[in-house]
């Protein structure tokens, strides 16, 4: 089963992705984590993306599209992909469709965790204290939310027409969101 968790930063995608990974013995594909790791290891790619990341801007489609390709074509991960934070633009969504087609896979569910700005700000400020992420200051949080809303509207339109799309109230607590996801992912 392949699943996309979609929603603004702080919506709880990562938490639910970890739950689904355990439940489905799947693999979490978090482009945010992968990119942060590149920065931490100070790789060439890390140097290229650090400014965008710290400014709350998106990294280019070309970079993230290249990153996810190897996960999709990894036979061990086939039909066990839990996407967290990808796709985030229409170009990425179309690229994902093509890669899945080429590898004879499909998306089974798209869960859109919908949360308003105030809830996001509260949650991300809390996470900043816990995880000390450099891109979690209030200014960056607000930029990330706005960038997200601007860029992802076409992605939302792209997926919301499909019948595997489910909108879930992401302002609910973790257990309630998991319960709702479980009503669809009943394996």
Compose the 12-31 pattern: x for residues touching ligand AMP by CB under 6 A, - for all others: -------------------x
Residue numbers 47-76 binding ligand AMP by CB under 6 A = 52-53, 56-59, 64
H or E segment to which residue 19 belongs: helix 13-24
What is the rounded distance in angstroms from the CA atom of residue 127 to the CA atom of residue 7? 17
DSSP assignment of 82-123 equals: EEES---SHHHHHHHHHHHHHTT----EEEEEE--HHHHHHH
88: contact with ligand AMP by CB under 6 A = yes
35: contact with ligand AMP by CB under 6 A = yes
What is the rounded distance in angstroms from the CA atom of residue 165 to the CA atom of residue 167? 7
101 and 39 Cβ atoms separated by less than 8 Å: no
Options 2, 4, 6, 9; binder of ligand AMP; rule CB under 6 A: 9
Stretch binding ligand AMP (CB under 6 A), from 21-29, 71-79, 85-93, 99-107: 85-93
Residue ranges in contact with ligand AMP by CB under 6 A: 9, 31-32, 35, 52-53, 56-59, 64, 85-86, 88, 92, 144
């Amino acid at each position: 089963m392949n699943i996309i968790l979609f929603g603004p930063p702080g919506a709880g995608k990562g938490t639910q992705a970890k739950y689904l990974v355990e439940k489905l013995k799947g693999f979490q594909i978090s482009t945010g984590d992968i990119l942060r790791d590149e920065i931490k290891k100070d790789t060439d790619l890390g140097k290229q993306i650090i400014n965008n990341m710290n400014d709350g801007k998106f990294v280019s489609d070309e970079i993230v599209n290249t990153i996810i390709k190897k996960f999709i074509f990894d036979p061990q991960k086939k039909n066990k992909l839990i996407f967290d934070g990808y796709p985030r633009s229409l170009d990425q969504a179309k690229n994902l469709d093509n890669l899945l087609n080429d590898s004879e896979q499909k998306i089974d569910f798209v869960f859109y965790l919908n949360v308003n700005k105030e809830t996001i700000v509260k949650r991300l400020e809390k996470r900043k204290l816990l995880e000390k992420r450099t891109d979690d200051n209030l200014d960056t949080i607000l930029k990330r939310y706005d960038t997200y809303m601007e860029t992802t509207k076409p992605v939302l339109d792209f997926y919301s027409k499909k019948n595997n799309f489910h909108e879930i109230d992401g302002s609910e607590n973790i257990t309630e969101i998991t319960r709702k996801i479980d009503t669809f992912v009943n394996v």
